[in-house]
């Protein structure tokens, strides 16, 4: 039997030598560079509704992240 996800669950992951925080919550998931507050978020609704919605959410999130990096 699976455990219900009723609060945030955080795990550190390493992607190409960079540390990231993966946060699973009842609302969705979020990947944030370690030490930063803003990251990429995708809701569970977008994930279960299919790739079109998921691609749109990820694309928008990536564009926002790239803009923030250019401003810094």
The verdict on pTM exceeding 0.75 is no
Per-domain boundaries in the chain:
9-71
What confidence category does residue 62 fall into, taking pLDDT thresholds of 50, 70 and 90? low
Give the mean pLDDT of 15-43.
Answer: 91
Task: Please give the Cα distance from 30 to 49 (Å, whole number).
Answer: 18
Torsion of CA 19, 54, 9, 13, to 10 degrees: -20
């Amino acid at each position: 039997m699976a455990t219900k996800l009723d609060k945030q669950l955080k795990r550190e992951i390493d992607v190409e030598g960079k540390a990231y925080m993966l946060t699973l919550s009842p609302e969705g998931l979020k990947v944030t560079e370690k030490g930063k507050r803003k990251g990429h978020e995708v809701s569970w609704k977008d994930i279960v509704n299919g790739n079109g919605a998921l691609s749109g959410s990820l694309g928008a999130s990536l564009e926002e992240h790239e803009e923030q990096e250019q401003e810094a």
